[in-house]
A = this chain, B = another copy of it.
Amino acid sequence: MSAPPPLLDRLRTRGWRLTAQRRVVAEAMTGDNVHMTADEVLERARRLLPEISRATVYNTLNELVELGEVAEIPGPDRVRRYDPNAVVPHQHLACEVCGGLWDVHAEGVEALHPDPAALGDFEVASTVVTFRGVCAACRGR
C-alpha cells in the first residue's frame, strides 16, 4: 500500500530550514532501490539546480544521515553510498567488483543476536546484513 510520507514532508515537519539546494538534494534521493554516491547525488541535483555546489551536497547528506532519514552504507570500496530507504529495514547485495549495491530482503534478521558474554557494555543500535558477491554484469566479464 502507501509508502511512508515523502522525505521532504518529514523534513518540513521537523522544522528543517528549507532552501532550494536542500530541496533538490532530497528530490535526488527520492525513489526506490537508490544507492547513490555523493557524486551521483550531485549529478542528479545539478539537473534540477545547476549552480549547486559539491560541498553543499556533502553537507546536506551528512545532515540527513544525522537526522536518521538517510542511511550511510559502507561497501567493499571506500566510497560512501546513501540509502534514502532508512525507514524500512532491509538488507543489501554488494558487488565486490563494481561496488554496486542493491536492496534485498532476508528472513531471520530479527533473530540474530550477538553472544551476550562477548557483548560487554556495547550498546547495539542496529543490525546490518550484507550479502557480498559478484553482480550479474560483472560476472559477464
Contact = CB atoms under 8 A, between A and B. Distances in A.
Contact of A108 (B78, B112, B125): B112
In the complex this chain forms, how many copies of it are found? 2
A131 B102 contact: no
A93 B124 contact: yes
A122 B133 contact: yes
Interface string A76-105: 101010000000000101011000001111
Contact of A115 (B106, B120, B121): B106
Contact of A120 (B72, B119, B127, B136): B136
A125 to B, nearest CB: 4
A60 interface: no
A17 interface: no
Interface of A: 72, 74-76, 78, 80, 91, 93, 95-96, 102-109, 111-115, 118-136, 139
